[in-house]
Amino acid sequence: MMGRAKSLVLAAAALLAPGLAHAAAVDAYYERSVMAAADQRCHLFTGSLAAALGASQAQARGAAMRAGVSNAQLDNVQLRAYGAAGSVACNSNDITTAANRVRLAFDGYSKLQTMGYRGDVSSWWANRASSDHYTTWRLSQTEPFGWNTMIFGIGGRGADTGLLAVASFVDGAKPYSARLVLRDAARAPEPFLNMIRASSEGSIPLSARMPPASATRAFFPQARGDADRMLLPAAAVSGTAFRFPNAAADALARLDPRESVAVEFLFSSGQAVRTAYVEVGDFAAGRAFLASAQR
């Protein structure tokens, strides 16, 4: 019991580090998971602080996966963290000390309005600010493909947000539909990373981070329309927007951060399919960061 309590306090102390560089990736995920589990059981933090801790937990999980740790291994780490948190009484001095350290660590973080999540190739940009009067991107990644550009992520107006793909085509073409293609975890539990196509620096292009077609699933949009000006890529004067179901965002958040997904734009003439790729990266952490503004 005393060993478990001590690990709880040490986990909270480790949260004071500015990033993951001072701890092994798995240890960082364990530390954040211990405190998240303690909060779930003992209701230690405000909603915004708990959500900030959750975003940090998701980011730590992504870092561990980039280091080569499997989902199954991280699930076991999370179970150990739940066990450690559940072994200490909610009114104990250890819980109080650990909770105070978490509040100190995340006081500033929970107040941030914007956050960038750098990936291997691309980055996600999160913005908690929202408006009831115009549409904005809340979490987005910009990807050029050929001479065209797509912005993909979470956007909308006020509380009405969803997973969007907005594309502008230099020839003015307008796709009649699109599909979001990603790994089907039921058929392929681990990501496909084609190292044969890696550069001399070890960077794998996004197109080489997709599984074969036999191991994918696809989501089709709920809605299509002309993109709002605020959602268009830079310098674009027009574009087409597709909104995908919430289930697609949930599936994306469960993927390995090293892999990619494809957005295939479908046309009735000419080049029938034009494909853009998105790096999964810290999508889950960015989505959790946005959720913390709604608590």
Residue 1, pLDDT above cutoff 70: no
Residue 15, pLDDT above cutoff 60: no
Residue 188, pLDDT above cutoff 80: yes
- Give dist(CA 83, CA 77) in Å, integer: 10
Lowest-pLDDT choice from 129-133, 161-165, 237-241, 246-250 = 129-133
Would you place residue 62 in the very low, low, confident or very high pLDDT band (cuts 50, 70, 90)? confident
CB 274 within 8 A of CB 267: yes
- The number of angstroms, rounded, from the C-alpha of 166 to the middle of its chain's C-alpha atoms is 18
- Give dist(CA 128, CA 167) in Å, integer: 23
114-291 is a CATH 2.60.40 domain: yes
Q: Is the dihedral of CA 230, 233, 237, 239 positive or negative?
A: negative
* 3-state secondary structure (DSSP) of residue 115: strand
> Domain residue spans in the chain?
2-111, 114-291
CB 139 within 8 A of CB 165: no
241: nearest Cα among 293, 174, 189 = 174
Q: What is the pTM of this model?
A: 0.81
Residue 86, pLDDT above cutoff 80: yes
Tokens found for residue 262: 């494809």
Would you place residue 294 in the very low, low, confident or very high pLDDT band (cuts 50, 70, 90)? low
Helices vs strands, H then E, count in the chain: 7, 11
Residue 139, pLDDT above cutoff 90: yes
CB 18 within 8 A of CB 255: no
Would you place residue 6 in the very low, low, confident or very high pLDDT band (cuts 50, 70, 90)? very low
Phi, psi (degrees; rounded to nearest 5) at 57:
-60, -45
Predicted pLDDT of residue 73:
86
Residue 25, pLDDT above cutoff 70: yes
Q: What mean pLDDT is predicted for residues 2-12?
A: 47
Predicted pLDDT of residue 291:
79
* 3-state secondary structure (DSSP) of residue 145: strand
Which run of H or of E encompasses 162? strand 160-168
10 Å CB burial of residue 291 (0-12, 13-18, 19+) is: middle
